[in-house]
Every structure is written in structure tokens, then in C-alpha cells.
Structure 1
Amino acid sequence: MGSGQVNGARERFVRTGGVELCVAELGDAGRPTVLLVHGYPDSKEVWSEVAARLAEHFHVVLYDVRGHGRSTAPAPLRGGFTLEKLTDDFLAVADAVSPDAPVHLVGHDWGSVQAWEFTTVERTRGRIASFTSISGPSLDHFGHWIKKRMTRPTPRKVGQLLGQGAKSWYVYMLHTPVLPELAWRGPLGKQWPRLLRRVEKVPGDGYPTSSLPSDAAHGAWLYRDNVRARLRRPRPDARAHAPVQLITPTGDIFLSPQLYDELERWVPRLTRRTVAAKHWVPRTRPDQLASWIREFVISAEAPGSVPATARTEPVRKGRRADAYAQRFGGQLVLVTGAASGIGRATAFAFAEAGARVVAVDRDGEGAARTAELAGLIGAAEAWGEQTDVSDEAAMEKLAAKVAAEYGIVDVLVNNAGIGLSGSFFATTPEDWKKVLDVNLWGVIHGCRLFGAQMAGRGQGGHIVNTASAAAYQPSKALPAYATSKAAVLMLSECLRAELAGQGIGVTAVCPGFVNTDITATARFAGVDAAEEKRRQKRASRLYGLRNYPPEKVADAILHAVLTDRAVVPVTPEARGAHLMSRFTPKALRAIARVEPPL
């Protein structure tokens, strides 16, 4: 277990209400202050990964709640953890670290429960610029939620009460005398890190710290001093006086998403986000949280701005666009072959959904341009990387850099590819090597390196491999290209089976005739340079007349990830050929013998 100090932080102690609070600061104190409040049974180190990312842009402050970490405990413990006293602590810390400007508050678990109090009581008005809530409701809002369902019960409302009641089993346990303290200072405290790794997939990276047993024992009084009293008599005026960003993990085993159904009643300026993760997102998804917090804080700091969901809505409208924003907002998406065509359109589509985008291409300028435009379109962040996907060593360097600087990829789109036309006997071994190196080995490198990182994190993810209708539609003119794409299709199917148990989906996208630059750069085996140029121009003209835009393929990719589809034929001819390959393969073989137009 770790030492209880955040790496690189400046620590000091703030005295308030008979306790000393250990406060850690990172980043430039002249920038806006982001104040992170931890939950139960944590200490401030739960935020270390998020804090390090935010410190590049803000003055970041973390403090150990009274009785936790390096902060002292009140005496006596009973009555020493009321929300009123916790509010005193917050104001003391805020006044010490940001006396002249309001702070941007972020809370997780009981840190969020506290922060709801801070954001809704009158005496803190003007001290909070924004509040990001993660996995912790207001006890007042919760109390009203319960009363409404008990006063006017329906089968649905009773089901919600029973569901949340089952999830809250630990709350009842923590109200029992002595037993929680004995458990945490005994076997539970020793097993807790292992439980977090196994159940929550929290990395074993020095967290939790050695103060865990005493933190958890003291923190039991957070529940005893507050829960029953507030749920019985919730405040009627618990309205937020600052904009709120609500981040709801969809896999939270302690809290039902329905708890926040009527939150707009209490929060006039509300931004909602969901993340496909479990409860301890500060440890499992620090990059995604940091990105959302950064965007929300910047929005709140802008003169006259009101942070709202409209800021991160995709350009496309409708129910599907809302689903994209909910699913991909803040996620890290890497797209290869992103300098043009389907790759660029896919990068833009994820950008519109609010994702963080890494655009990869051997054309470095093109990748940088895609990243620049993605940022303008709506990407939370975007970067361009120059890499040849066929170069194993280069891909290994890219994977290491992305993990170290941007985080673990949530969605990988292996899209880079080259075209090659010509009969089998006109195709040289060198031609075969070039097309397989990019179209197949590039996909293998991406799946192996980034897929391994996804699996190692243990939080799921999705891999999209761009195959082609040529993967199942034979052609006498495309033996090498079709073989490479058929291999990608089968690789995708095999990986899908292997990774299903780890929550990682795999999709093979099979476009047909799409109007992209691949026709202008495709090689034609067995002809001279002049004839190759003529055929490239003719193919480009034919594809231009077909005029199926790459943006439709990009939309199909996002929808495939959203719905976890295995094989996605795109364009009418690709769907038709896919059906024929299953039901009338003889007819498809007959079509394969037709001489293509030259």
C-alpha cells in the first residue's frame, strides 16, 4: 500500500473545528481551482490519477476528510461527522486555497454526498463555481425521492424502492455498533484491496493506502451522523446554486440510476453524462473523468457561459445522436487511416459525440489536420499521430505513448488499408507482402497491442476492424485485396469469441463501393505506370458516380459499437452480396467470373 501522499503535491494542514485537515495542491495556483472530495472508505489518494491529469490545466486541491488519511479525527467521534461540520471543513479549505475566487467542486461517493450539501446550502453561495457529482446523491434529494414513492406507490415505484434498498445493504450494516470497526480493522481491511481488484477491476497500483482500516472505521460515522436524520426530514429548499455535472456509472452496484430521475427539480443548470463503468471510476476511468471535468470547468469559467448538455451535443440530431453522446462522450477513440476517407469521417463522427480522438495515419500532416478539425467539431480532445500500421515497432511505440499520455483506448478502429487490383498471376510476392502488411498485419498489430491494454484494464471496450464486401464476395480482379479482407473478417470473428468474456466487443465493418481516396492510390498489378494511372482515374470516376459518402460508413461504425454488432455490411451492394454469400453462393461465384470494366 502507498504512503498516503499524492506524487508531486504540495501538502499543508488547515485547522478547523478542532481537527487538522491534510490538504494537497498540484498545478499553478494562479489558475482556476478544482477541489476534489473523496468518498468512503477512501482517502484523497483515490483522486491521484485524475488530479495528475487536471493539474496540467488547473490548480488542483485534494484534502483528506476529517478522520481519514493524514487528517485528524474529531473527539468524540459521535456527532463529529455531521454535514454541517463537513461544510465548515470545506469552507475552511476553500478559503485557504482560493480566498478570492470560487472553486470548482468534484465529489465521488460520500465526497459527492457532502458536496451536494455544500452546493445547496445558503452559506456557501458564491464559493462554488461548478459541481461535478459522481456516484453520490444528495441525502435531501434521496429523502424526497423515497417519500414520493411511499406516498404514491405504483408497481414501478415500489420496484425502484426495493431495488435501491437491496443495493443499500451496506448502509444498514454501517449503522450497527462496533461491528464495522472490528471488521475494517480486521479481515475486511486486509481483503479490501483484493476485493477492489477482483470486483471493480481497480488496478493494483498502490491504492488504497495503509490508512484504510482507520479511514473506514472513522468513516462509518458519516452514515450514523447523517443518513437517518436527513432521509426522515429532508430539506425542502435543497436547490443547487451552481451548475452541476452529473456523471452516472451504469454498472454501479451501490446506486440505481433512477435515483436521479427528478434531479432537474433541484438543479436548474444540469449536465448529465453516463459512463460504462462500476463504482470506483476515479481509479478505473481517470482519463475520461478528467476530460469531462476539464471541459465542464472551462465552460463554467467562460464569461457568460452556462455549462449544459448542449455544449457537447453532436452536430447530428435525433435519438441516435443522443445515444452516441451518452455512450462515447469523454471516451478515448483511436482511428487508423484517419487522414482521409472512412477514417477521417469516423474520427469526425466520434468527435461530434464528444469523444477524445487519436487520429493515426502514415500521412502525419493529414492526421494532424484530422485532429485539428475534430477538435473544432466537438471532440473533448484530439491528437494526430504519424505511424505506419504495418511497422510492428512503430505500432508498439504508438501504443506505449497513447497509454502513457492519453490513457487506455475505449474504442479502437483499425481502418488503415490499401487497394490492389490484378489477376493472381500478375500479382507478385512483393505485391502480396505490401497489401497483407497493411490490410492484415496492421489490424493484427492494433488488436494485439491496444486490445491487450483494454483487457488488462478490465473495464471492457470495443474493437472495430474495417474489412470489405470483398471479404465474402470473390472477384477474379482482387485476389490479394479480397484475401486480406477475408482474413480480417475471420480474425474479427475469432477475437469476438475470445474477448466476449472480458466485455470487449469486436465488429467487422464491410463497406462496398464508397467514395474515398483509396481508388486514387490503389495499385494495379501487371500494368505499366501509365495504364495504372488511367485505371486509377477510371475507378475514381466510377466510385464518384456511385457517390456513397464515407460519413454513412462512419455512422454505421458508431451504431455497430453502440449495439455490439458482429458483422456490418455497409452500402446496398455489400448487404446484397452478404445475403448471397449465405443463401446463393453459386450465384456469387458466377458473378466473380465477370470481367471488371477497365
Structure 2
Amino acid sequence: MELRDARERWVRTGGIELCVAELGDPAQPTIVLVHGYPDSKEVWSEVAGRLAERWHVVLYDVRGHGRSTAPKPLRGGFTLEKLTDDFLAVADAVSPDRPVHVVGHDWGSVQSWEFATVERTQGRIASFTSMSGPSLDHFGHWIKRRMSHPDPRGVGQLLGQGAKSWYVYALHTPALPEMAWRGALGRQWPRILQRMEKVPADGYPTASLPRDASHGAWLYRDNIRSRLRRPRPDAYAHVPVQLITPTGDTFLSPSLYDELDTWAPRLVRRTLAAKHWVPRTRPDQLASWIGGFAGRVESGSLESGGLESGGLESGGFESGGANGPGGSDGSLGSAVPSAAASGAHADRFGGQLVLVTGAASGIGRATALAFAEAGARVIAVDRDAEGVARTAEAALRTGAPAAWGEVVDVGDEQAMEKLGEKVAAEHGVVDVLVNNAGIGLSGAFLDTTSEDWRKVLDVNLWGVIHGCRIFGRQMAERGQGGHIVNVASAAAYQPSRVLPAYSTSKAAVLMLSECLRAELAEKSMGVSAICPGFVNTGITGSAHFAGVDEAEESRLQKRTARLYSLRNYPAEKVAQAILGAVVHNKAVVPVTPEARASRLLSLVSPRLLRGLARVKPPL
């Protein structure tokens, strides 16, 4: 997106002119986006366009960048004090009677920490969202603590961040950075961003890059050494702060924020599986979190909700389905008030869109509720209309900011195509897809009919293929990453004389997952195969047994269900394994002890595993 529709104005301050762009309704609360180095305000264009639907969004070129003029002389013209003057001038121009919500990335975050902690900005800022840029004062204290009381962990953190900060030393050298940016580095920078950061080739960065980067070197020279040597002792944030930490940031270690709770009493932490330039690579997620956080501050729920230091919140989405309860096209929207997200990984999944198939019961239901507890928006999919409606309602009570139920047979390609179109149109692109739907089938190969094979493969394999193809393509085309989880089974690598069809379907799911993982890695997408063993779910009581009459099948179903209940491994543990697989981008996750044991045997002693497969189980 470009800022063609933005309204521009010029703000004069301290002998320079700042180019300010505005989007959205000026009557709405204002969000000010502050760019970093070596960027201009256009780095925010994708995020700004999304936020402008509900907010008054303001972007400005920092002095010496983009279309803003540069101070003369450059030396001494980029101090944090002067940058704060610029911010206050912009805030007074665009929102004179109301405090603004500030969002900063990279050096935009560094200077915004100054705005959020100095006394003269009190009353002008409503909230601050920080990403990929620490307070120099906090950084200075962080260094001093580790140098004054050295221990192996602290020394390792110092050395690690020191290595990541190599560019800071380079920018302090006279003239060389300017020569590099106005020469080969400036010409190659767009390609570097595309190759190293996966930044889309969509006209960014702008043509002003060489000049912006040359002027911006003085941000480092005017501030770094002085602040790190003499950090302010009173650099406490006087506003609520949301910290978004990209886990793959090339330039900053997450340990920099270890003691941030001390400096920001009202702190919300979030993590994002991405690299440094998240305004360009993850605009959907950033807009969701920024808008949600600002919305909670505006409503007062952040202040009144008892959020403690270092806490987590759900992302600020409205509860309720797009079509309301009993919505059209098989949608079963839920509108039960949601609780604040407090579950494991709420910093990672808050506000994300997660679709889970087979969600009416068992592992699917437990997974939907685990993501709900982590603050995700949940789409529960199943053939069981009543069951999926109950899951959506429970998800809202558990902590999901929104939840919907969709009645779909995953084995029906056309129905899945329609679901994909509907989800994209009404809710956006899915961030996490969990292909969990499955059916059980037991019986010898020679007793298994062609119809039996078709039924199990339609759900267990083709259902996964449809989900991966439809929703995986949407993720890939969006270009902002994502994760696919395919629930396979320990039967995928553990042969059995009584599960030929089921084991074949799950083995295919496992290999499909491995192939997709290799292909989609270049799209910054993860793929995980989850392999549970004996888990106490409803699939055992409804499994089909080939080659027996109805009475015998009923007996075998009851017997199998009783055995699994005696094992009593809960579906909730599988759900937590699924969330962990996404967070750590694991390839194959055996869940139960027997699943892990058989996985080990399949790798180190497959012959023994084949021998065990020949044993006929008691009936």
C-alpha cells in the first residue's frame, strides 16, 4: 500500500519542517507511528492503512528523513531532546486536545521511549507500543548491572548483544557510513531486505534512502555514547506500554528486556516469530495488536482490569461471530463475553486467527480452547453442529476475543473451498491452521473394503490436503508467515497388523508435513506433525471395525474406549504440545510416552518394531 490517500501537512519546529501524513477520521483517537533507521514514514504504510479503518493515524518523516528537512549543522541536530520537541510539535498539530497513542519501530521506538519517560510529555501520550528498539537509558542500566556484578549468564548476554550491535560501531566512524549509503550499500539495500528479511518487493524503501541513511547516522552519534555512559535514573514510563519482541531479530537480543518490568509498571509483552522489519513483513498482526492495545486503553479496561507488570492481554477484538448465533452458511457465531487471556503463550497468540478442524470434541476441542486461553481468535470446524457450537461458546468463556463455529466436512473439497473463501472474506487470513479432524478404522487389510479405505482417506488424508492447500496458499500469498499443524499419530511410524488403513493415512500425513515444511520454509511458514499415542478421546468409541457384524463392532468399540480411559492420557496435554510445536517450530512431535518410544525404535531399531507389529492383540 502507498500513502497516496493521505492528507499531508507541514509542521515547523526548531528550524526544520516535518512532513506529516494523516489517514482516517480526525475525530477518532490518534495513533502516531514513528519510523526507524534507515527508514522513512512509508515503512508504516501497510500498518497505517489497516489502522485507518478505525483510528486517526498519523505518520511523519523524522527530521532529515523522507520529505522532512535536515538540521544545520547535522552534528548535534538529532539529540533525543530535539526529537522530543519534534514529536510534541506533531502531536499538538494533529491532536491538540487529546493524548495520542505512540508506536515506534527501531529508532522510532528508541526515541519514543524518551517520549514515554520524560516529564514534559505527561498528558500528551495515552499509550506506547515498542518494537525492536530499547530505551537507551534502560540499555545503559542493563549494561552497568552486568558489568558491576558479572556472572557467566550476564557476560554471555553482553557478548551476544555486543556482536549483534556491530553496525553501531560502524556508524560512529567518520564519513564511511555516508559514503557507503550513497554508493553500493544504498543501491543494494532493497535486495538485502528482500533476501535477508523477506521484505516484499513492493516499492519500499523509497528513493530517499541514501540521504535518509546518511543523515540518520547522526541519531547514533548524537545519543548512543552519552546515554549509555550516563543513563537517566528516572526513566520510568508514565503510560501503559506494549512491548512486541520479534524472536528472530538480527540486531537485538530478547534479554535486553529482562528487567523492563522495573521501568514500565504497566507492561504488556508480546512475541512475534519474525525478523527485524516487522512493519513490512507482519502488518496484519501489528495492526491487530496496536489497535487492540490502544482500544483497551481508550475503554479504560487496561487500567481497571488489574493488569500487573509483565502481564498479557487478549488483543482487544470484539466477541461474537460475523453472522451472530446461528449464522448463515453453516456459521455458528458465539457472543459470550470473553475473559482476559491468561494462558500459556498468550504473548505469542493473542489476537491471532486460528482454525482447528475436528473441534467438536477430543484433541480438536482441547486445542481450540488452549488457543482461546492464549487470546487467539478461534474458528472451530466440525461436522457436528452442536459440538462445534459448544466449542465456540467455551472458547469465548476461556479467553478468546472472538470465536466462530463452522459446520463443514473436511473431506468435501468444495465445502472446504467455500470455507476458505468465507474465512478470508469475513475474518482474514488464518495465522495458524490445525488439521486435526480424523476417524478411526481397525481391522485386517483383507477385511477392509474399498469403501472403508475411501472413508478413512477422505477425512484423515484428503481433509488435511484440502486444509493445507486452501489455507496454506492464503498464508503463502499473504507473505507474512504462518504455521500449519497436521495431527498424525504414532501409528504413522509404528506398523500394526490391525490398523493398515488408519496407519497408512497417518503415515501419509506425516510425510506430507515433512514435504510441506521443506517447501514453505522460504515463505517463513512452519509446518509441524503431531503424533499422539493412546489419548482418551471420543474417536475410540466411534471407530469402525472392519470384517465384523454390528454387535461385535459395538463390543469392540466399548472395549477400546474402556482401555483408552484406563490409560487416561488427556487431550489437553496434546493441545499444549501443539501450541509448543508452533512456538518452537518443531517438525515432528511425538506426544505420549509410547509415541516417543516407538518413534525412537523406528529410528534405531525398526526391525524390533516390525516384530512387535506381528503380535496379534487380544480381542
Q: Please indicate the TM-score interval, normalised by the length of the shorter structure.
A: 0.7 to 0.9
1:392-422, Cα deviation, whole Å (9 max, x unpaired): 4554565566567756655432111233455
Q: 1:510 to 1:231 in 2, by over 3 A?
A: closer
Q: Does residue 1:239 correspond to 2:263, yes or no? A: no
In structure 2, give the amino acid aligned to 1:107: G
Answer yes or no: is the 8 Å Cα contact 1:203–1:457 preserved in 2: no
Q: 1:442 to 1:177 in 2, by over 3 A?
A: same
Match of 1:317 in 2: none
Q: 1:432 aligns with which of 453, 458, 463?
A: 453
Secondary structure at 2:76's aligned position in 1? coil
Q: 1:361 to 1:302 in 2, by over 3 A?
A: same
Q: TM-score scaled to structure 1, two decimals? A: 0.84
Output the CA distance in 2 between the equivalents of 1:56 and 1:532: 57
1:519-559, Cα deviation, whole Å (9 max, x unpaired): 56555556788987787677667756665432232123233
Q: Does residue 1:341 correspond to 2:362, yes or no? A: yes
Q: 1:61 to 1:404 in 2, by over 3 A?
A: farther
Match of 1:100 in 2: 97
Q: Compare 467-476 and 212-221 and name the one that shifted more.
A: 467-476
Output the CA distance in 2 between the equivalents of 1:512 and 1:181: 60
Match of 1:551 in 2: 572
Q: 2:52 aligns with which of 46, 52, 55?
A: 55
The 5-angstrom pairing of residues 150-549 of structure 1 reads: 150-153=147-150, 156-303=153-300, 304-305=303-304, 307-308=307-308, 309-312=310-313, 324-362=345-383, 367=388, 370-379=391-400, 381-396=402-417, 398-399=419-420, 409-421=430-442, 424=445, 427-451=448-472, 462-472=483-493, 478-496=499-517, 505-519=526-540, 522-523=543-544, 548-549=569-570
Q: Compare 66-75 and 240-249 and name the one that shifted more.
A: 66-75
1:198-229, Cα deviation, whole Å (9 max, x unpaired): 01111122222233233223322322333333
Deviation at 1:111, TM superposition (A): 0.6
In structure 2, give the amino acid aligned to 1:195: I
Deviation at 1:107, TM superposition (A): 0.6
Answer yes or no: is the 8 Å Cα contact 2:497–2:614 preserved in 1: no
Output the CA distance in 2 between the equivalents of 1:457 and 1:327: 19
1:296-318, Cα deviation, whole Å (9 max, x unpaired): 2233234342554444499xxxx
Q: Does residue 1:69 correspond to 2:93, yes or no? A: no
Match of 1:91 in 2: 88
Secondary structure at 2:9's aligned position in 1? strand
Answer yes or no: is the 8 Å Cα contact 2:496–2:614 preserved in 1: no
Secondary structure at 1:413's aligned position in 2? strand
Q: 2:125 aligns with which of 128, 132, 137?
A: 128
Match of 1:112 in 2: 109
Answer yes or no: is the 8 Å Cα contact 1:390–1:442 preserved in 2: yes
Answer yes or no: is the 8 Å Cα contact 2:247–2:254 preserved in 1: yes
Output the CA distance in 1 between the equivalents of 2:375 and 2:443: 42
Secondary structure at 2:142's aligned position in 1? helix
Output the CA distance in 1 between the equivalents of 2:521 and 2:367: 24
Answer yes or no: is the 8 Å Cα contact 1:78–1:221 preserved in 2: yes
In structure 2, give the amino acid aligned to 1:109: D
Secondary structure at 1:202's aligned position in 2? coil
Answer yes or no: is the 8 Å Cα contact 1:334–1:409 preserved in 2: yes
Deviation at 1:238, TM superposition (A): 1.7
Output the CA distance in 1 between the equivalents of 2:169 and 2:609: 63
Q: 1:24 to 1:373 in 2, by over 3 A?
A: farther
Output the CA distance in 2 between the equivalents of 1:47 and 1:574: 46
1:123-147, Cα deviation, whole Å (9 max, x unpaired): 1111112111111111222233334
Output the CA distance in 1 between the equivalents of 2:489 and 2:149: 56
Output the CA distance in 2 between the equivalents of 1:58 and 1:390: 41
Q: CA RMSD in A?
A: 3.7
Answer yes or no: is the 8 Å Cα contact 2:598–2:609 preserved in 1: no
Output the CA distance in 2 between the equivalents of 1:215 and 1:278: 22
Match of 2:612 in 1: 588
Secondary structure at 2:434's aligned position in 1? strand
Answer yes or no: is the 8 Å Cα contact 1:296–1:307 preserved in 2: no
Deviation at 1:584, TM superposition (A): 3.6
Output the CA distance in 1 between the equivalents of 2:492 and 2:161: 48
Deviation at 1:356, TM superposition (A): 4.1
Matched pairs, number: 586
Output the CA distance in 1 between the equivalents of 2:414 and 2:61: 44
Output the CA distance in 1 between the equivalents of 2:236 and 2:360: 47
Deviation at 1:231, TM superposition (A): 2.9
In structure 2, give the amino acid aligned to 1:378: G
> Which runs of no fewer than 5 residues in structure 1 stay unpaired?
315-320
Q: Compare 439-448 and 424-433 and name the one that shifted more.
A: 424-433
Answer yes or no: is the 8 Å Cα contact 1:287–1:406 preserved in 2: no
Answer yes or no: is the 8 Å Cα contact 2:531–2:589 preserved in 1: yes
Answer yes or no: is the 8 Å Cα contact 1:39–1:112 preserved in 2: yes
Q: 1:28 to 1:391 in 2, by over 3 A?
A: farther
Q: 1:20 to 1:545 in 2, by over 3 A?
A: same
Secondary structure at 2:20's aligned position in 1? strand
In structure 2, give the amino acid aligned to 1:54: L
Output the CA distance in 2 between the equivalents of 1:130 and 1:163: 31
> Which runs of no fewer than 5 residues in structure 2 stay unpaired?
316-341
Deviation at 1:43, TM superposition (A): 1.6
Answer yes or no: is the 8 Å Cα contact 1:313–1:322 preserved in 2: no
In structure 1, give the amino acid aligned to 2:363: I
Answer yes or no: is the 8 Å Cα contact 2:440–2:544 preserved in 1: yes
